[in-house]
Chains A and B, each alone.
Chain A
Amino acid sequence: MSKIGEIIEASTSEFMAQCYELHQPPPFGSLVKAREGEIEIYGVVCDAATTSIEPGRHPIARGREEAEEEDVFRSSPQLAKLLRTDFSALIVGHKEGQKLYHYLPPRPARIHSFVYVCDAEEVEKFSQSFDFLSILVAAKGQADELIAASLRHAAQAQPDPRRFLVIAGKELAVLLGAEPNRLNTILRRIRR
């Protein structure tokens, strides 16, 4: 299991982590996890950004003379140290002992906890229940994009991705019973 970053801000519903590698956050909608003592906390990546390490200072354009984009960093190796990539994850469940819970953990993750990308096997296990969808449905911001991305991501880990998406879609149809427009938007983004 690969360590991808480290938590720098945490609440019971969300955490933010800094990536160890610049420009390489986990994909939007993918499943990540962090540990808090005995508890493993699962999140769905809901945002990622690369910014200057000093708040308020913006990088300036440097590539006018360069042939390739990579050359910008090659010419000024110190640049990578001035930038950081962060990502946020919406917490969708946790595991205590061997048991999975598709609802929020009792405590937030600790700062500096490592964040791991879940492998296919773990994604499949976690997505055996769709209870986490109700958390995503209620998310602020681009909830529908997030739901679609997370389902597409989880589908890749399934033996029968289409069937998985149909069942997920049916779950959403019930959750979004009063919001047929949202349902249509999501279904169009996950259809196969």
Chain B
Amino acid sequence: MSESLHNERRGENEKRLGLVVSGSLSRGVEVKLDSTTSVEDIAVGRYVTIEGEKGRFLGMITDIALDAIDSRLMTNPPEVSDPFIAEVVAGTSTFGRVHVQPQLTLGGDVSSLLEGPQSVKTVPAHFSVVKEASEQDVERVFGQVEEKQFWIGTPLDMEIKVRLNPTEFVKRSNGVFGKSGTGKTFLARLLLIGIVQENVAANLVFDMHSEYGWEGTSEEGRKVKGLKQLFPSKVAVFALDEESARRRKVSTDFVVEVGYDEIEPEDIEMLGETLNLTEASAQATYRLARHFGERQWLERFLALEGREELNELAKALGEHEATIAALRRRLEALRRLRFLVPHARDNAIQRILEYLDRGINVVLEFGRYDDITAYVLVANLLTRRIHAQYREKVERAMGEEIAKPKPLVITIEEAHKFLNPGIANQTIFGTIAREMRKYNVTLVVIDQRPSGIDEEVMSQMGTKITCLLDNERDIESVLTGVSGKSELKAVLSKLETKQQALIFGHAVPMPVVVRTREYGSPQSYKELGFREAIELKKEAEKELEDLWG
């Protein structure tokens, strides 16, 4: 938008758009646009104010339509090629209509100033005037953002900052959705930065494509800084693939190995889908564990050689030979994962917990193991045990007078692999999503196919941040259980293809469409508190100087 237009918008007199002509509390109100307002200047997702008789309403435009005073006009259209006639019929014979979903009331009197915006309990009267919302109005709802506070983006055509309430945000599991390339990763990275900056929780990120910890890339192939570069003292990078980390010059804090002796039958069961295991083979793992012993079953099973040995084992377990043979074939896939060793030299779980305890955020990079098998295996395995520890700590804290652990936020991508309806009941991630913050652990799930996620899990999410989705089922699933669903649907499907998101839920006072904060420019890093090495050095020198006078 041009500068002058922008100033006009900010002016005292917000532009009048039209009048309320009908509506209902559940469905929102219909607004007939003034003849001076062109439908082409309106966009879904924008905020408007409605001057009701008793109070002001703040609402969001959720649909835009063309209408005519008489349908016969359509069969005998006026000569709009003539500018005079076009000007006459615009807004009279033909006019624009917009649908507005009132979100909050902004009373004008003193008491409502104190109470702040309230939820909507009625609709504005007939012919109430509808105007573009001013930045002040919107800012009153979202609150002014202080210097040190984190903000996620700006509402459409406004320059104010939208902040997620950080404590509310980490209280429940949250979702980041959007089809491929819409900006989920950039958004999630910003969310993580927000959590680090506001210091409301420790993060554990399962970084499938190695883009959060040290360095990511933008679509133009530019490198963008990861968390560790911005907050070197607050972030530790764990790597599954040391080689790849070294090649990418990542300053790695710990190389993770997973021992065969740490893998439990449950972990294999979670891989059922990705390894294409039959139900019978998955169940056979439990028998194997009993047969060989909890800590040795996998190593010993993989060490068996030849048909004979396998058949013998099948007999001993009372399984079909084919079942055991198939299981063995499928599990061969694990050999490819070089981070799997008979026995790990160090205990990754303990290390992660130590860092988290000290309030240091942990990003686990997968390096070249960016396939779903490795991801699901490791994320499940580590999370199960970490969650168990948190659970124990919280339970102890309830009994004794010791502090609860700092909240933990676990971030996973491809969430439908962990939370699809078939397994959400059994996986640790399903448990965490459903139990909310009972044990101080919540999730940020990132997914491009939310319809693949269990409905109950979706409905338990506190805040959803969604970029453009165009699949009807995905849209449906993201909006399940949200009030004003069909209205938000229209907004969601009209988002821009990048860097725009609809946010709704506990961490925001009302649904909002934001342009996601720019990330990746030197200026953006600076605004997030990053200082170049030279600057840091200068500061240190200055401090020294000050010290010695």
Q: Do A and B bind each other?
A: yes
CA distance A58 to B88 in the complex (A): 46
B residues sitting closer than 8 Å to A (CB atoms) are 35, 69-70, 72-73, 76, 78-79, 82, 84-85, 87-89, 91-93
Could you say which of A165, A174, A181, A184 contacts B69, with CB atoms under 8 Å apart?
A: A174
CA distance A188 to B82 in the complex (A): 9
Contact across chains for A191 and B78 when beta carbons are under 8 A apart: no
Q: Does A89 contact B (CB under 8 A)?
A: no
Contact across chains for B84 and A165 when beta carbons are under 8 A apart: yes
CA distance A174 to B89 in the complex (A): 9
Contact across chains for A173 and B89 when beta carbons are under 8 A apart: yes
Could you say which of A170, A178, A180 contacts B35, with CB atoms under 8 Å apart?
A: A170
Q: Digitize A162-179: 1 where CB-to-B-CB distance is under 8 Å, 0 elsewhere.
A: 100110011011100110
Q: Digitize A155-166: 1 where CB-to-B-CB distance is under 8 Å, 0 elsewhere.
A: 000000010011
CA distance A166 to B87 in the complex (A): 7
- For residue A165, which residues in chain B have a CB less than 8 angstroms away from its CB? 84
Determine chain B's interface SS by DSSP, over half rule.
Answer: loop
The size class of the interface chain A forms with chain B is: 10 to 19
Distance between B37 CB and nearest chain A CB, rounded to angstroms: 14
Q: Given the known inter-chain contacts A170-B91, A173-B93, A187-B78, please indicate yes or no for A180 contacting B85, CB distance below 8 A.
A: no
11 residue pairs from A and B, CB less than 8 Å apart? A169-B85, A169-B92, A173-B69, A177-B70, A178-B69, A180-B76, A180-B93, A181-B76, A184-B79, A187-B78, A191-B84
Contact across chains for A177 and B93 when beta carbons are under 8 A apart: yes
18 new A-B contacts at CB < 8 Å, known A166-B84, A177-B70, A184-B85? A162-B84, A166-B88, A173-B69, A174-B69, A177-B93, A178-B69, A178-B70, A178-B72, A180-B70, A180-B78, A181-B76, A183-B78, A184-B76, A184-B78, A187-B84, A187-B85, A188-B85, A191-B85
Q: Does A192 contact B (CB under 8 A)?
A: yes
Closest A residue by C-beta to B87 = A166
- For residue A177, which residues in chain B have a CB less than 8 angstroms away from its CB? 69-70, 93
Number of residue pairs across A and B with beta carbons under 8 Å? 52
CA distance A191 to B82 in the complex (A): 8
Determine chain A's interface SS by DSSP, over half rule.
Answer: helix
- For residue B35, which residues in chain A have a CB less than 8 angstroms away from its CB? 170
CA distance A75 to B85 in the complex (A): 51
CA distance A187 to B35 in the complex (A): 17
CA distance A153 to B30 in the complex (A): 39
Contact across chains for B76 and A174 when beta carbons are under 8 A apart: no
- For residue A174, which residues in chain B have a CB less than 8 angstroms away from its CB? 69, 92
Could you say which of A169, A180, A187 contacts B73, with CB atoms under 8 Å apart?
A: A180
Q: Given the known inter-chain contacts A180-B76, A181-B76, please indicate yes or no for A187 contacting B70, CB distance below 8 A.
A: no
Closest B residue by C-beta to A176 = B93
Closest A residue by C-beta to B90 = A170
CA distance A162 to B69 in the complex (A): 24
